[in-house]
Amino acid sequence: MSFDTIIRGGTVATASDTFQCDVGIAGGRIAALGADLGTAKDVVDARGKLVLPGGIDSHVHLSQPSGPGIVMADDFASGTQAAAFGGNTMVLPFAMQQKGQSLREVVKQYHAKADGQCYVDVSFHLIITDTTESVLGQELPALVNDGYTSFKVFMTYEGMALSDIEMLNVMAVARETGALVMVHAENYDAIRFLTDRLERAGKTAPHFHGTSRPIAVEREATHRAIALSEIVDVPIMIVHVSNREAMEEIRRAQQRGLKIYGETCPQYLVLTAGDMEGLNMEGAKYVCSPPPRDHASQVACWEGMQQGVFSLFSSDHCPFRYDDPQGKLTPKGRTSFRWVPNGIPGVETRLPILFSEGVGKGRISLNEFVALTATNHAKTYGLYPKKGTIAVGSDADIAIWDPEREVTISQSLMHGGADYTPYEGIAVKGWPVSTMVRGIFVVRDGELVGKVGAGTYVARERSPLAKPIAKSAWE
């Protein structure tokens, strides 16, 4: 058999096994795993290295409209380049509907933003903000058939929050079409109440963002989202879970046999509310929602991953420049935390942080790392086994890691459009040195060798988690 590339001498790890073998690649796919595979045009020496499925980051925001005067720091070119340097071979950004917009139009717009601009593969989740009859009755079912098989709903944010009846209606469409609903669980009215009161009291510094969104806000919405999904009898994914109380809501639901899934993110493992207390506006660098909490919450998020309550570890990459009125410093006159755009960069640092803090410190195994960062994302969102594993027939989406490399995370090492990293100064051991998408290197030995446009759009199958279920009492 002839190969285009052989990755030789590395330690291969999947979500279930770790073994020594060479990887033979032909036509963009993994063609053989074994010893003595012979020769190829390109033989890559991976001795002393880990050969892992490329990371799939199923929760990123790129080129997303973010309010008047605010501009997201990454477009598809800069965001996917940063993803590749961070050991990722695929990202799933959101295509966000704005009120009054047709979903078809939204999808068209996002394809125009992404086409020819990506370094790694991409696929889109839809964000549903306007649950009109034509959206629910026609557009969504047709789009699910076309490979847009997951959508996110928000329980907070002006212009985005869905009421309970709207959530129920979206969930009913997901049930009928076999799509997976992702939920941003925070109580909108409670946040509005607290934000108004804090502002009236003159408490407007960035760290009051955390005060305006206490754990109860997230716990209540998580509980409600679970109840709504139980009523409709449809699986849901609760995204960016930040603390024990929300995690335990999900665990309890899972123990009751409900199909509730959970995701957590790096900011809930290594940042705390204290980070938002920086001098002047510095704390704005850490403003995201839900906000970073405390040490006990970090422990709970680790526990959630260790016990399988969370099946996904995503970045929630949502980057804004700091030193920029179109970013965290916000347009003139808007001085309250209310106006600080919610979100932080993280697509490039997600994997090294989890590898170092998780695998390196014995909190999770290497195979759990692969599951949490690649395989489960592919399985959850209808990409497996094409993506997310190292197996004969799968796309050759591979990251080669130096497990001994020690790096102090710094903005000077980053490749995205933001002007800071919230993880500045964190020391990690283990770093992705090369990233290959469908058999072609995008990053090789730390250098960009891929071409913009090499990453392509991937239509997805329905999530196996969202298989149509038997008729419900209300049907």
Q: How far is the CB of 194 from ligand DUC (least distance, A)?
A: 16
Number of residues that bind ligand DUC (CB under 6 A): 9
203-237: burial string, b at 16+ Cβ within 10 Å, e else: bebbbbbbbbbbbebbbbbbbbbbebbbebbbbbb
Given 223, 240, 379, 460, the residue binding ligand DUC (CB under 6 A): 240
For ligand DUC, the closer of residues 8 and 61 by Cβ is 61
For ligand DUC, the closer of residues 181 and 396 by Cβ is 181
Q: Which residue has the tokens 């994997």?
A: 351
Q: Of 291, 185, 293, give the one whose Cα is nearest residue 239.
A: 185
Interface positions, 47-106, toward ligand DUC (CB under 6 A): 61
Q: How far is the CB of 182 from ligand DUC (least distance, A)?
A: 9
For ligand DUC, the closer of residues 15 and 185 by Cβ is 185
Q: How far is the CB of 98 from ligand DUC (least distance, A)?
A: 15
Residue 228 — φ and ψ, nearest 5°?
A: -65, -40
Q: Of 180, 242, 94, 202, give the one whose Cα is nearest residue 468.
A: 180
For Zn ion, the closer of residues 240 and 460 by Cβ is 240
Output the CA–CA distances (angstroms, integers) from residue 243 to 354, 405, 438, 443, in the order listed: 17, 31, 37, 35
Q: Which residue has the tokens 């997303």?
A: 64
Interface positions, 176-195, toward ligand DUC (CB under 6 A): 184
Any residues with CB less than 8 A from the CB of 386 and at least 6 apart, and which? 378, 394, 395, 458
Q: In the structure encoding, which two tokens stand for residue 166, read together?
A: 């709207």
Q: How far is the CB of 162 from ligand DUC (least distance, A)?
A: 14
- Enter the DSSP assignment of 472: P
Q: How far is the CB of 7 from ligand DUC (least distance, A)?
A: 35
Q: Classify the C-alpha dihedral 437-368-403-46 as positive or negative.
A: negative
375 binds ligand DUC (CB under 6 A): no
For Zn ion, the closer of residues 161 and 390 by Cβ is 161
For ligand DUC, the closer of residues 29 and 59 by Cβ is 59
For ligand DUC, the closer of residues 30 and 182 by Cβ is 182
Q: Which does 376 bind (CB under 5 to 8 A by kind): ligand DUC, Zn ion, none?
A: none
CB-count exposure of residue 129 (10 Å: 0-12, 13-18, 19+):
buried
Q: Which does 267 bind (CB under 5 to 8 A by kind): ligand DUC, Zn ion, none?
A: none
> For residues 91 and 387, is the Cβ–Cβ distance under 8 A?
no
For Zn ion, the closer of residues 94 and 322 by Cβ is 94
Contact letters for ligand DUC, residues 275-314 (x by CB under 6 A): -------------xx-------------------------
Q: What gap in Å lies between CA 124 and CA 59, rounded to an integer?
A: 10
Q: Which does 342 bind (CB under 5 to 8 A by kind): ligand DUC, Zn ion, none?
A: ligand DUC
Q: How far is the CB of 341 from ligand DUC (least distance, A)?
A: 8
Q: Which amino acid is at 255?
A: Q
Q: How far is the CB of 50 from Zn ion (least distance, A)?
A: 28
Q: Under DSSP, is residue 238 helix (H, G, I), strand (E, B) or coil? A: strand
Q: How far is the CB of 28 from Zn ion (least distance, A)?
A: 30
Q: How far is the CB of 206 from ligand DUC (least distance, A)?
A: 15
Interface positions, 311-370, toward ligand DUC (CB under 6 A): 316, 318, 342-343
Q: How far is the CB of 60 from Zn ion (least distance, A)?
A: 7
> For residues 157 and 127, is the Cβ–Cβ distance under 8 A?
no
Show the CA angle centred on residue 237, arms to residues 93 and 74, nearest 5°: 20
For ligand DUC, the closer of residues 262 and 343 by Cβ is 343
Q: Of 347, 344, 273, give the one whose Cα is nearest residue 83.
A: 347
For ligand DUC, the closer of residues 178 and 291 by Cβ is 291
Q: What gap in Å lies between CA 381 and CA 151, rounded to an integer?
A: 10
> For residues 54 and 85, is the Cβ–Cβ distance under 8 A?
no
The residues of the shown chain that bind ligand DUC, judged by CB under 6 A, are 61, 184, 240, 288-289, 316, 318, 342-343
